[in-house]
Amino acid sequence: MTTFAASSWNFDVPGAPVEVLLFALFAALAIFGALRVVTASDPFVSALSLLFNFVSLGALYLMLGQAFVAISQILVYAGAVVVLFLFVIAYLGDRRELAADAVRARALRPFALLGVLALMVTLVAVVITADFPKLAELHDTAAGFGFGSPQAIGETFLGTYVLAFEVTSLVLLVAAIGGIVLGLTGRARHDRLRKLMQTRSADQQKRLHESEERKLKSERGVGTT
Amino acid sequence: MSVAVDWYVGLSAVLFSIGAAGVLLRRNALVVLLSIEIMLNAGNLALVAFSRTHAQHDGQVFAIVVMAIAASEVVVGLGIVVALSHMRRELDTDELAELHG
C-alpha cells in the first residue's frame, strides 16, 4: 500500500475553518438543488437541478475522505442517471405542467405538506438529540490507512459482502432485461417476445433430438420382437 | 475544527424530507422518479457519514450497492414512463390508476 493514498485523500486542514465553509457551501447547494427539483414546473429544469444535488453530495463524500464513493457518485449519477433522464425528457417532448396543475389535488395538498413537515421535524429532532460518536482519527487506526481507497473497498466488498455483490449484479441483469422488454412496442414486442419463448438453446435441441431417436429405436425394437 | 457527523446526518435528514415532499406533492411521474433519487442519495449520505465515523468500509460498500439499485430503478422506471407515453397518456400519477382494484 502506498503512502500517498492516506496523505492526499485526507481533507484535514488543521486549525482552519475551511472544512466548515466548504460544508456550508455544498450543503446549501445540495438543498438548493433538491428544492429546485421539487418546485420547478419544467421537468428539464428539475433534471438539471438534480445535477447540482449530485455533484455537491460527491464533494461532501470527498470531504469525508471517501474518494471512491465520490467518483462513483459522479460517474453513475451525474454521468449516467441524469443523462438518461434528460434523454427521456427530450424524447417525450414538451410536457410542461401548468403551475396550478403541478401539484396533486388541492384537497390532499395540506395533508401531504403536513406529513412531510412532521417527517422533517422528527428526523432533525432525532439527529439533534442523538449522541453520535466523534469522527474517528484516520491516522491512528489500521483501517484508516488508505481509507476510502478502491483497494480497501474492494477487499470489503468481495470479502465480507460477496453475497451482496452477487445479488447486486443479478439485480442489474434483471433491470437490463426489464428495460429491453419495456422498450419493445406494438408489433415488434409481440413478435420478439414470441420468438424468445420459442427459441430453444443448443442443449435443449440436443436433448430433444436424443429423446426422439430413443423413441424411434424403441419403436423399431417393438417391431422386431 | 472539523464538521461533526451530526451535520452530515442532519443534511441527509433534510434532503430525505425534501425528496419525500416531491414524491407526495408532484403529479408528473418523471419528477416523482427524480425525487426518489434525492431520497436514495440522502440515505447514501448518512451511510457514508457513519462509515467515516467508525473508519470502516461497510457503509461505503452499501452506498455503492444503493447506487446500483438506484440505477436499476431508473432504467425500469423510465422504461415504464416511455411505455406509458406510447399509450398516448399523460404522465399524471393521479390518472394512472389501472392497478387499483
Q: Fill in the amino acid letter for A58.
A: G
Find, among A143, A137, A135, A160, the residue nearest to A5 by Cα: A143
Task: Give a three-class secondary structure readout of A80-119.
Answer: HHHHHHHHHHHHHCCCCCCCCCCECCHHHHHHHHHHHHHH
Residue whose C-alpha cell reads 451525474 in the numeric block: A78
Instruction: Specify whether the CB–CB gap between B70 and A168 falls below 8 A.
Output: no
pLDDT at residue number A162:
93
In this structure, what DSSP letter does residue B92 have?
Answer: B
For A10-29, the pLDDT digits (tens) are 555 455 578 888 899 999 99
In percent, the amount of chain A with pLDDT more than 70 equals 73
Q: What is the average pLDDT across B71-86?
A: 87
CB-based contact B22 A37, cutoff 8 Å:
yes
- ipTM computed for the complex: 0.88
Nearest-angstrom CA–CA distance, A163 and A61: 25
Contacts of A146 in chain B (CB under 8 A): none
Q: Which residues contact B11 (CB under 8 A, 6 or more apart)?
A: A27, A30, A31, A60, B45
When pLDDT is cut at 50, 70 and 90, the band that residue B43 belongs to is very high
Contacts of B89 in chain A (CB under 8 A): none
Domain at A1-143, CATH from 1.20.120.1200, 2.30.30.240, 3.30.420.40, 3.20.20.370: 1.20.120.1200
The values of phi and psi at residue B26, to 5°, are: -85, 155
Does the pLDDT of residue A9 top 50, yes or no?
A: no
Select the residue from A50, A57, A122 to test the B interface by mutation, using most B Cβ atoms within 10 A.
A57
CB-based contact A88 B67, cutoff 8 Å:
no
Instruction: Specify whether the CB–CB gap between B35 and A37 falls below 8 A.
Output: yes
Find, among A89, A54, A56, the residue nearest to B37 by Cα: A54
When pLDDT is cut at 50, 70 and 90, the band that residue A1 belongs to is very low
Does the pLDDT of residue B89 top 90, yes or no?
A: no
Question: In 10 A of CB A181, how many CB atoms?
Answer: 15
pLDDT at residue number A7:
42
Cell (9 digits) for A46: 428539475
Domain-by-domain residue ranges, chain A? 1-143
Is the CA virtual torsion A153, A158, A161, A163 positive or negative?
positive
**B88 Cα to chain A: minimum distance (Å):** 11
Q: What is the average pLDDT across A37-55?
A: 90
Nearest-angstrom CA–CA distance, A66 and A63: 7
Nearest-angstrom CA–CA distance, A87 and A73: 19
Q: Least CA distance to B84: which residue of chain A?
A: A182
Nearest-angstrom CA–CA distance, B62 and B44: 8
Q: What structural domains and CATH numbers belong to chain B?
A: 5-86 (1.10.287.3510)
Task: Number of A to B CB contacts under 8 A, please give it.
Answer: 253
CB-based contact B48 A66, cutoff 8 Å:
yes
Find, among A186, A113, A93, A80, the residue nearest to B30 by Cα: A93
For A153-181, the pLDDT digits (tens) are 888 899 889 999 999 999 999 999 998 88
Is A173 within 8 Å of chain B by CB?
no
Select the residue from B9, B38, B39, B50 to test the A interface by mutation, using most A Cβ atoms within 10 A.
B38
For A134-150, the pLDDT digits (tens) are 776 666 555 556 777 88
Smallest Cβ–Cβ distance between A69 and the set B11, B63, B73 belongs to B63
For A64-121, the pLDDT digits (tens) are 888 899 999 999 998 889 999 999 888 887 655 544 455 556 677 888 889 999 999 9
CB-based contact B55 A153, cutoff 8 Å:
no
